[in-house]
Amino acid sequence: MPGSIVTLEVDGAPMRTYLAVPDGEGPFPAIALGQHRLGIDVFMRDRCNRLADAGFAAAAPDLYHRSWAPEQFDEVTALPRGDEHAESILQPLSGKMHDEEIVHDMNAALSLLKEQPQVGSSPLGVLGFCMGGRVAYLMATRNARLKATACFYPGNVFTPRGGGPAPFAASDRIMSPMIGLFGNLDTGPSPEDVERIDKELTRLQVEHEFHAFDGVAHAFMDPTSAIYSQAVADEAWSKAIAFLDAKLNS
């Protein structure tokens, strides 16, 4: 079934969150999604719906909720990638995000999922794209309840936001298995960045599997991007779903 917007309150501010739950009684495992730079737009809502179709409850919180007015959320998330007006609003927002606030927001989304009668005590995971891939990596270092982490081309994992270490610097805290999906033409993360992360997780004995795809760069999953590749996107998504199913439905 298609999802809907619900409003949570986090740190005294309303946070709209897209929630999609599979049909049926469950129990279903649940996944909180970290948004890409464009927010909870058509792509992010579609991914929540696809997760629900695959048997996972999914919630994507608006991580910009502290920085913009509710009417801007409605306006910008309906605009296409590259729209000049949308870009003028979005451009400064990601720079205002702090890791502690991100963790609060994602944990609120996980709590929302656990409140759903079809989820309850089912296993929890996180998934994200681009900026949201970094969010997923960050959450893997901060929430020991997670049973699976899926990072699509996570950017800036070596850089902290606000206080505390960068996600990569806290890799020794990761408790959940991780899948990473990357484009070999990407520059952020570059293949060298992916190798660095892979080596560190291997050194720390963190269970992980990484998949790098030839011929694609950043944002290859998003149909609104000029970089989009349907064949690669379908393959990468299938790998992610298989991973999540194995870790959350075992």
Q: Mark 9-32 as b/e (b = at least 16 C-beta within 10 Å).
A: ebeeeebbbbbbbbeeebebbbbb
Boundaries of domain holding 102:
4-248
The overall average pLDDT reported for the chain is 94
Predicted confidence (pLDDT) per residue in 142-177, tens digit: 999 999 999 999 989 999 998 889 999 999 999 999
What CATH number did the domain enclosing 13 receive? 3.40.50.1820
Q: What is the identity of the amino acid at 131?
A: M
Count other Cβ atoms within 10 Å, centred on residue 81. Answer: 19
pTM for the model stands at 0.96
Closest by alpha carbon to 103, among 206, 173, 54? 173
What pLDDT score was predicted for residue 146? Answer: 98
Cis status of the peptide bond prior to 27, with omega within 30 of 0 = yes
Asked whether residue 54 carries a pLDDT value surpassing 80, the answer given is: yes
Total structural domains within the chain: 1
